[in-house]
Every structure is written in C-alpha cells, then in structure tokens.
Amino acid sequence: MSLNQLSFDLASLQAAYRSGTTVRAVVAESLARCRTDTHHAFIHVLTDAEVAPHVARLDGVDPASLPLFGVPFVIKDNIDLAGVPTTAGCPEFAYTPTESAFLIQQLMAAGAVPVGKANLDQFATGLNGTRSPYGACQNAFDPDFISGGSSSGSAVSVAKGCATFSLGTDTAGSGRVPASFNNLVGLKPTLGLLSGTGMVPACRSLDTVSIFALTAGDVQAVLGAAAAFDASDAYSRAAQPFGVDFSSGDFRFGVPRAQDLEFFGNTAAAQLFATSVARLKALGGTPVEVDLTPFLEAARLLYDGPWVAERFVAIQDFINAQPEAVFPPVRTIIEGGRGVTGAQAFAASYRLKALKRACDAVWNSIDCLLTPTAGTLYRIADMQADPIQLNSNLGRYTNFMNLLDYSAVAVPSGFLEGGPAQGLPWGVTLAAPAFKDIALLRLADRFHRAEAFTLGATPTPLASTPACTGLPSGEVGVAGSGTVRVAVCGAHLSGLPLNHQLTSRGARLVGSPHSAPDYQLHALAGGPVQRPGMVRVAEGGSAIALEVWELPAAHFGSFVAGIPAPLGIGKVKLADGSEVPGFICEGIGIAGATDITRFGGWRAWLAAGAPR
C-alpha cells in the first residue's frame, strides 16, 4: 500500500511502522494532507522546519517502546504548542508560547508528533464552527453544512484522514457535537483527568480537553498517554477506578422520555435515535425511561446563568481593550457575563447543587445514559442567519454534562436518510458519572462496531481495526476497574433476602457458574435469615450452583465485615478450574446443619420446600 492510501488509524500506522515505514515518511504524508485542506480546518499547519525536531527525537527509537510512536496529531488552537502561535481563533489575541501545554508534553513523550493547529469557534464559544475569522469550518462530508464546534477543525482534520487523533476542548459539548457531524468518536473526559495547563480557558471550572479519533480504541490509547495528574493545574484530579464494567453483559441504559426528546423537525435524526436504542438493546442493554427535566434545567444555567462570567473573566483585559476584535456572536455572549453579581453566582451554584442531587439519583437505576449528541444539524448559511438560537439548539443534550461532572462519549450512530441533511453522519452520546470513561469507551466501541461503518470521511472500514478491550497500553493516569469478584451461594443470590448487601454497594452480577465438584452444601442452623455453608471436601463433593458478582473494591471491606461466623470469604474453585473469592464455611459450622448437597444449590433446596 502506498502512503497516500494509508489509513491513519492507530492499528494501521503501527502495522506500517512494523513493516519498515519511517516516521519521516508518515509525517510528510500527514503534512501533505493537511496542506490540501479546503474545509478551513486549520489555522496553522506546521512547516517542515517546525516539525523536524519532533520527528528527530524519534530517531533510533524502537516503535514498540512508545504507545503513540510516530502518530500525527492536531491541536485545537487554544492549546499551547511551543514555538507556534496560539490564537484561540482571534489573530489580535495571538501569543507564541515558549512551553507546550502539560498534556502536549505527555503526548509527545509517548511518541506523538504534532502537525497542525486547528480552527475553532473564537474563544471556544459556540457549537457550530462558523465563528472564526479564519473561515467557517465546513463539514467533512458536505461543505454546505456546519462542522460542529467549537472544536471544528480538530474534528474535520481527523475525519478527512489528516491525522490519527486531535485534541479539542469541551465546555458545553465542543468535544462531542463535531464528532457527531463528522462520523467520529469524541470523548469528553472526566473533568480534571486531562490537564488544563497551557489551555486558553472558556469556563475554567468546566473546561476539559477532549479527544477525537476514528475509533474508541484510538481514543482510549490517547487518553492513556495523556491522562496524568498535574500539580500545577488546580483543577487536575488523579484518576479513580471506574468500578463495575457495564460495557459487556447485561446493563441498564437511560433513555429520555418522549416529551423530553427534541429533534427540531429532523425526523431522520429521530429515526436514527430509535435505531440506536434498539442497537443497545441488542447488545444486552435494558432501556430505562429517564425524566430529563432536571438535566435540562441544569443545562440552561450554562448560558442563562452566571457561568458566562467565567468566559468574560478568561479574556477580560483583551475584550476591554479590543472589543471590535471579537466576533459579534461571541462578543454578545461574553459581554453578557460582564454584569453578573456575586449574589447571582451563589444563587445559581445553590440551584445547581440541588439539581445535581436530583440528576445523580438516576444512577441508582441505570449504568449509562443515552441521548442524541445534537438533535439536528444545519447548513452554514442558516446558522449564520440565526447564530444564537440555532447554536442553542445544538447544546440541548450537551450543556448539562460538564456542569454535572459527568463523562461522555459521542459515537457514530449512522447516516441520515431523508431531509435536507440526507446522507450526512449523525451520532449519539453515552454518558455516566465521573471516572467511568473506560467503561463508556468500551461500550461505545461495541455500539460502533454493531454496524458496517467506515472511519470518518475515509473509505477505510471500521471492521479492519481492533476492538477496544483492556486498558490502554502505556497508560499514565488511567486507573483500572478497582473491583473484586465474589462468588455467592445462598441468601446473597439474586432476589434473595441479603442480595441488597451487594446491590446497595454497586455490585453487578457477572455470571452464574457452578463450583468445581469438590464441595458439600449445608443448611446452617439459626436465623432469622437462613444461610448455607459451603465446605470443600476431599471426597463426596458435588458441583454447587453459584452467582459471581463484581463489587467495587472500596466497598468490599464493609461487605466482608458484615459476614457472620462461621462464614467467611476464601477462594472458591469454579467448574472451569479458576478461583474467585467467595463464601466458605468453617468446618465447625456444620455441626447441627443439614446436608443439602444433593440439591445442587440453595435455590433448588428452597424450591423443594426447604425440607429438613
């Protein structure tokens, strides 16, 4: 395969490097693709001289030693790259940093090579991609349509095959809406998981750097390389275990009530959302209807409340000195924060706290939430004719997630059939509480691969890339699940009296195996809750029906502490020969107990009338 036919997904690049392709050749091809851009995706493409040091540092390095070896990437132009101007979409604001942003340093240390600075809605204020003096960024599939914003060029550059991944930022949906409109996966990570040092802020308390890539696996690899605690960033947070992995097996997903769904007249988008619900059900999900009312009220606080003051604070000196340099719709929004009072800010923060309590209650009944990423998409001409209202429409399903501290992944759902946007891509978003990023990416990958998609706006089939499994290699700040599996054999089984001791701690049923044929089961004396005792024996044993639950390790200690003698947790051997922590009984405990081994399990004994 010639280089101009090479797909820049991570697996294809790694295969090319294994076959002897050089970093210089790959980066030269990437730069050539960037320089032929006609969609206003770039503010600056690195010159050969600017990129040379980044390539030279990989000379003599084993490609297998770095997780992102020789991977070209694009940077939204509100994130610093040393020696290259940062404009935030405003040439009068531009400055040239002497040091790259913390996370850019992380990525380059992992082997990635920067190739360009991407266009954006000025000062990251907008969800449409048209608010830039460098030109309205055009959709990768149809230049008459918006790209989505504010991370417009970041998304289009990857969709057009110019780079393997790009960085955007997300305050209100800027890392998700462009993914939806350009057939990409877009991650809005947990707030603070990626450092904000070296980023021009929009709303500093809500901003997060976002990641665009062709596949969920590629996003996960980038997250693994970029996520690291940054002591110089007051909003940085160390990664936490993501807990029970709901990405496989049975899971529950929230679906907005019919009256909460709004597609702004786009019936093709409504149909794709219904198809998305059916696809998740086919993957093992159970839909649970969710009232979006508190979520939507929280969303309105972002622009109708005092958080616009953060946008004003971010560029206060500049906008005071040169207001005419700011794009009119952007200036209207940012100037709206000038007169916000402390009383208004505190009142809104109190209301948000109450709304978060109401919204967080939904996680008691679901594992993740499914929404449209944006209800519809618009032509550039229509957006420019009505820039405030149509932009507001784009944020209906995105504005609340940063305020509520959720993680979210935008994933392709399909292509619109009918209507003015016929044939254009459209996507959905999977959201969950903070630090659930890995589980969301794994589920998004399964969802994505359930259809025969291609990558971005390229002809490369998604099926040619590996699935998103395990943790990213070379991860710096991505934590594992942090869970413990435990086998139960009696009153903790599903639907029985003590099962709540598992479910109240966030445990999930992951299987119903049998033990190895080495155990006897006894109905213990006492109560009031009847309990079995499972004892391992040298002979006369049988296979016992079990359930295996996955429990957050943080709650495992309190669970074990509540287990009464003569029961305890030890290693239980399963029928497949593996071992898992589970309930065992001290030998002394079976004195006065009834041997019920012949029933093969506690449920069978109960079903037989629990004969003594």
Strand, helix or coil for residue 268: helix
Active site residue ranges: 76, 150, 174
The identity of residue 1, as a single letter, is M
pLDDT (tens digit, 9 = 90+) per residue, 22-55? Answer: 999 999 999 999 999 999 999 999 999 999 999 9
Percent of the chain with pLDDT over 90: 85
Residue 551's pLDDT band, with cuts at 50, 70 and 90, is confident
Whole-number pLDDT of residue 525:
84
> CATH top-level class for 3-464?
alpha beta
Give 522's contacts (C-beta < 8 A, 6+ positions apart): 532, 533, 534, 535, 585, 589, 590, 593, 594, 595, 596, 597
The span from the CA of 545 to the CA of 535, in Å, is 14
By residue count, the chain amounts to 612
The predicted pLDDT at position 468 comes to: 78
Nearest CA to 411 among 174, 215, 202? 215
**Which residues does residue 409 pair with via DSSP β-bridges, in sequence order?**
187, 430
CA distance 112 to 54: 8
pLDDT tier, 475 (very low <50, low <70, confident <90, very high otherwise): very low
Query: Where are the CATH 3.10.490.10 domain residues in the chain?
Result: 483-607
CATH 3.90.1300.10 range(s) for the chain read: 3-464
Tell me the HSE value of 543 on the side-chain side, using a 13 A CA sphere. 11
DSSP secondary-structure letter at 73?
E
Q: What is the pLDDT of residue 473?
A: 47
Q: Over pLDDT 70: what percentage of the chain?
A: 98
SS3 label, residue 184: coil
Q: Are 177 and 127 in contact (CB under 8 A)?
A: yes
**Average pLDDT over all residues of the chain:** 94
CA angle (149 as vertex; 333, 433 as ends), nearest 5: 95
Can you tell me the distance from the alpha carbon of 484 to that of 569, in angstroms, rounded to the nearest whole number? 12
- C-alpha span between 13 and 19 (Å, rounded): 10
Q: Is the pLDDT at 474 greater than 80, yes or no?
A: no
Q: In what order do the strands lie in the sheet with 483-488?
A: 508-511, 547-552, 483-488, 579-585, 567-573
Which range, 211-215, 303-307, 488-492, 500-504, has the best average confidence (pLDDT)? 211-215
- Residues 347, 111: Cα–Cα separation, whole Å: 47
pLDDT value for 592: 85
**Of residues 546, 555, 530, 612, the one with CA closest to residue 583:** 546
Alpha-carbon torsion angle 37, 41, 42, 45, nearest 10: -40
Q: Quote the CA–CA distance of 261 and 263 in Å, as a whole number.
A: 7
Task: Please list the alpha-helical segments (H only) found in 132-254.
Answer: 152-159, 177-181, 216-226
Q: Among the listed ranges 138-147, 375-384, 495-504, which one has the minimum average pLDDT value?
A: 495-504
Q: How far apart are CA 20 and CA 118, in angstroms?
A: 30
Q: Is the pTM of this model over 0.85?
A: yes
Half-sphere exposure of 154 (CA within 13 A, CB side): 37
Q: How far apart are CA 183 and CA 148, in angstroms?
A: 12
pLDDT-based confidence at residue 477 (cuts at 50, 70, 90)? low
Residue 224 carries which side chain, given as an amino acid letter? G
User: What is the largest distance, in Å, between two alpha-carbon atoms of the chain?
Assistant: 88
Instruction: pLDDT band for 530, please (50, 70, 90 cuts).
Output: confident
pLDDT at residue number 552: 87
Task: Write out the H or E segment, with its range, that includes residue 185.
Answer: strand 185-188
What is the pLDDT averaged over residues 413-433? 96
- Please identify which residue in the block is written with the tokens 């399990």: 601
Lowest-pLDDT range, 104-108, 178-182, 411-415, 462-466?
462-466
The region, left, alpha or beta by phi > 0 then psi within -120 to 50, assigned to residue 40 is left
Separation of first and last alpha carbons in the chain: 73
pLDDT, tens digit (0-9, with 9 covering 90-100), for 139-192: 999 999 999 999 999 999 999 999 999 999 999 999 999 999 999 999 999 999
For the chain, the C-alpha Rg in angstroms (whole number) is: 27
The owner of tokens 């929230």 is 254
Strand partners, 44: 117
Q: What is the mean pLDDT of residues 259-276?
A: 98
- 476, pLDDT greater than 60: no
Q: What is the mean pLDDT of residues 417-445?
A: 96
Token pair belonging to 93: 């604001």
**Lowest pLDDT segment from 34-43, 195-204, 549-558:** 549-558
**270 has pLDDT over 70:** yes
Q: Can you tell me whether residue 307 is helix, strand or coil?
A: coil
Tokens of 65: 């030693």
Question: What is 487-523 written as a DSSP string?
Answer: EE-STTSTTSTTTHHHHTTT-EEEE--BB-S-EEEEE
Q: Please name the fold of domain 483-607.
A: Hypothetical upf0131 protein ytfp (3.10.490)
Model pLDDT, residue 1: 59
